Amino acid sequence: MPAERRTRRILRQLTHLSQLATDLEAPLAESDRTVHVPSRFTGRQTLSKTGIAPSTTPIQRSWQRCANLGLDQEARPLLAPLPEQALREAVGRNEALRRRCRPEFEALFARTRNDDSIVILTDAEGLVLDAIGSAAFADRAAQVALQPGVSWAEPATGTNAIGTALVERRAIAVQGAEHFFKRNRILSCAAVPILDATGQLLGVLDLSGNAQADHQHALSRVQTAVDAIEHRVFDTAFPGCDVVRLHADATMLGTTREGVLVFRDQVLVAANRYGLALLNLDWQTLGRRSYHALFPMQQSVGASGVLLRDPAGRLIHSRQPDRARPHLPPAKHKDEPKPQQPNGPAHFFDKNGQARLSRAVRLLDAGVPLLVQGETGTGKEVFARAAHAASARASKAFVAINCTALPESLIEAELFGYEAGAFTGARRAGAKGLLREADGGLLFLDEIGDMPLALQPRLLRALQEREVVPVGAVQATPIDVTLICATHRDLAKLVEDGAFRADLYFRIASYTVDLPTLRSFDDRAALLHRMWASLEPERRRITLSPDCAAALATYTWPGNFRQLVGSLRAMLALAEPDEELGLDALPSNLRAPRAAEVNGRAEHDDPARFDSIARDAMRNAVRASKGNVSEAARRLGISRSTLYRRCLSDGPLR
């Protein structure tokens, strides 16, 4: 079947899926919305002329990704297990994860042994490490390669609970016909990502069974197990730190659903997802907020109990057990200090970079929009967040929008919002829209160069008039936002070619900030050591040998800071305490010199040539990873979305 016809058919199925989702979602809380399409869904329903509704679900987004990859739901996925030696190596790399999960893994199996199901543990890339289940279901699971050594990442197996949970970073249930490949529709699966105390993905715990059976409690059972796995790490992993356990309900303290925050020298350095959710924070907050900023008021109520109030005045119960070192001191004032700059490239800019950031803050405070330009991985969003954190609007919202991540059919409703009943599939209460979410704060439009041309006039009008008209509405709503746009493309050239509106370009580019590439830094060795020290602040005393440091400093880093930080974190994760890392500790893709490294700096100054080299490297990495996009992105040190956009947007690799 031609790819175009196959994509149209998938989009028609997504339309029907959207209409079903509207009725299913209405009575649920936002955080609990997981669409379960009945098993009778076969993909042959009557078509709708309205297209895909803007209120997409995780399942719909996954199907869209599968369509973009050119997957054929009629085909049989190629799910050959890893060779025995490679599987042993993968299991060895994840031994710490397996040990941590073992009690809950076996307990979950014990609770479901009579449910005709199988319990699965995967690594952060979706590779099955362990599987245990009922003998009755084992044969059916083997038919779809639900076994150790097989990757269940989306590019390999389409929409499924494991792969989709990894991409969405949330609990997902995928039942029967919701699976992309027809062969997998015998399954009903529930998966929850496992995160460490800094928000990094460790793996996925999954419970899969027969699609015809009743698995209504599967997702809650898996979530309970993952809560226990993530909660236990705080018992021993943070010596010398202050561990604060908290909840709005005092009776929930001591359970796996309590919030946990870890402070080192009164700075928040680790947390669990419940602690962050309780305070309306995200993982980017780590390293940026102090105890006093989070809890300006507190009152002791016993030997270990403390009543806290957050900046909004909400009462929170907490436990701060007696320790060898004193408790966190009481807050001295209610004023929240200005947030610190986030970790990342902005910390390591030279004097010119610091001056660049200072100018950006002054311009934002004056209401002047900025355009940030730079290659992928140079830290455009990090720069924008640092400027916001140092600006007069630091306490207000920072709303980031990736213009390439929103389907063209949805971007208008996502940006401007819509009224109730504006179109088929719209939420019954309407949607506020991202521009109004940013009201009073800063709006960051990433990859603005990829915004559809037809939408640009509406954005221009909203920015000029400082008001938005939601889809289906008549009345305009005022907005007050400062604006930072970012792109890796040459917008001026796009304007000349007619691919970007000149009036919008001049509106958003009142001042342009060009971020340097990593290879352009003269003293990369000093920069490297500063970054290493920030990631490994002498807690485990892991050092770099001179040869290893020299190799890192001379590498050209096509992925810039993103690739460098990812490589350093990988080396740290695999190192032992007090170890000096040599050349053999380098990721394999950094050991062999590349042609791009020896062709001289002049060739790097040619953006078109660099883009071609980067694109070839990405496509080669996907081939080397046998189509596993997550693995290829990990090897390159870039995000999956960047890899999709840069080398997979024109179809699958052949």
CB atoms within 10 A of CB 590: 21
Sign of the dihedral defined by the CA atoms of residues 183, 186, 190, 195, in that order: negative
Q: What is the DSSP string of 461-521?
A: HHHHHTEE--BT--S-EE---EEEEEESS-HHHHHHTTSS-HHHHHHH-SEEEEPPPGGG-
Secondary structure letter of residue 431 according to DSSP: B
Whether residue 214 contacts residue 187, with contact meaning beta carbons closer than 8 Å, is answered with: no
Give me the residues of the chain with pLDDT under 70, please: 1-56, 135-145, 299-304, 321-350, 405-412, 418-431, 471-474, 536-540, 592-617, 633-654
pTM over 0.75: no
Angstrom distance (rounded) from CA 369 to CA 390: 16
Contacts (Cβ under 8 Å, ≥6 apart) of 439: 397, 479, 480, 481
Angstrom distance (rounded) from CA 282 to CA 261: 12
Long-range contact set of residues 283-290: C-beta below 8 Å, sequence gap at least 24? 283/198, 283/199, 284/342, 284/385, 286/198, 286/199, 287/340, 287/342, 287/343, 288/339, 288/340, 288/341, 288/342, 288/343, 288/389, 289/339, 289/340, 290/266, 290/337
The amino acid sitting at 231 is: H
Where do the domains of the chain lie, and which CATH numbers do they carry? Answer: 1-235 (3.30.450.40), 238-319 (no CATH), 345-514 (3.40.50.300), 519-648 (1.10.8.60)
Q: Which of 469, 449, 440, 283 is nearest to 376 (CA)?
A: 449
